């Protein structure tokens, strides 16, 4: 490894560690949830990184008019829905914060993994405001944590519908990601009318950004015998 490559690697690791340390700092000295004020920024137990299956969303009524994410040729597969601070049961939302808007530069920097300006703004107001960090650090951490998850090859850009099961999807992610286990993943799918289409994959992380066992919020999972993943468009 060259000195330049080595230096870049060190800077990358330092950046990841630094941002996650900021997020963790608010929690490591905190009291148990039962003794704390709810819906207060920086007060939560763990994170859920929610990854949306874009083709399912784009094939739904909600995605019909979403030209930013769903226009032909956009070809998104797994995208970030959000990074959610969670309690062991329930979650904080819409916490008081001095930062009430998201700068356009931040929005532009996130569009490759969160391809919707409206979604980015919504996620900050509802979830990011409760992380106890700045807008910039929240979205920087979102990107870093998304990069930490390795998407199995078959789900990167499928041109044909994938027919699988919730269990197989979890198994594929566990095999591809070191330190990830089945109890750290929650599979979400639509109702019977949606014919078992995958809507989201939720991955749980502790306060330091490491893969972690999910809480009660993720207990309700997809029960479809066959999980349908429409192809990218």
Among residues 81, 93, 122, 218, the one annotated as catalytic is: 81
CA distance 18 to 11: 10
CA distance 98 to 48: 24
Q: Is 81 a catalytic residue?
A: yes
Enumerate the β-bridge partners of residue 205: 47, 211
CA distance 61 to 15: 39
In the numeric block, which tokens belong to residue 19? 């941002």
Contact 222, 187 (CB under 8 A): yes
Among residues 37, 93, 99, 123, the one annotated as catalytic is: 123
Q: What share of the chain is helix, strand, coil (3-state, %, to 5)?
A: 40, 15, 40
- CB-based burial label for 34 (10 Å; 0-12, 13-18, 19+): exposed
Least Cα distance to 44 among 95, 119, 101 occurs for: 95
Q: Is 123 a catalytic residue?
A: yes
Among residues 127, 167, 200, 218, the one annotated as catalytic is: 127
Region of residue 91 (phi > 0: left; psi between -120 and 50: alpha; otherwise: beta) = beta
Q: Is 88 a catalytic residue?
A: no
CA distance 202 to 185: 6
> Which stretches within 127-196 are classed as H helix?
135-148, 166-176
Q: Which residues are catalytic?
A: 81, 123, 127
């Amino acid at each position: 490894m060259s000195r330049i490559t080595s230096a870049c690697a060190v800077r990358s690791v330092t950046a990841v560690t630094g941002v996650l340390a900021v997020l963790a700092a608010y929690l490591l000295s905190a009291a148990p949830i039962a003794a704390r004020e709810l819906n207060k920024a920086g007060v939560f137990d763990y994170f859920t990184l929610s990854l949306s299956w874009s083709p399912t969303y784009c094939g739904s009524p909600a995605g019909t008019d979403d030209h930013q994410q769903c226009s032909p040729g956009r070809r998104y597969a797994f995208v970030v829905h959000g990074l959610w601070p969670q309690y062991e049961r329930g979650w904080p939302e819409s916490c008081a914060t001095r930062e009430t808007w998201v700068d356009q530069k931040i929005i532009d920097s996130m569009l490759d993994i969160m391809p919707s300006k409206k979604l980015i703004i919504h996620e900050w107001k509802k979830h990011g405001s409760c992380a106890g960090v700045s807008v910039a650090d929240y979205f920087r951490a979102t990107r870093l944590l998304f990069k930490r998850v390795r998407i199995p090859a078959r789900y990167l850009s499928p041109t044909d519908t994938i027919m699988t099961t919730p269990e197989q999807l979890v198994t594929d992610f566990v095999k591809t990601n070191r330190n990830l286990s089945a109890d750290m993943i929650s599979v979400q799918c639509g109702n019977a009318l949606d014919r078992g289409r995958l809507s989201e994959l939720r991955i749980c992380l502790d306060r330091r950004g490491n893969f972690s066992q999910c809480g009660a919020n993720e207990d309700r999972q997809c029960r479809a015998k066959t999980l349908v993943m429409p192809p990218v468009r």
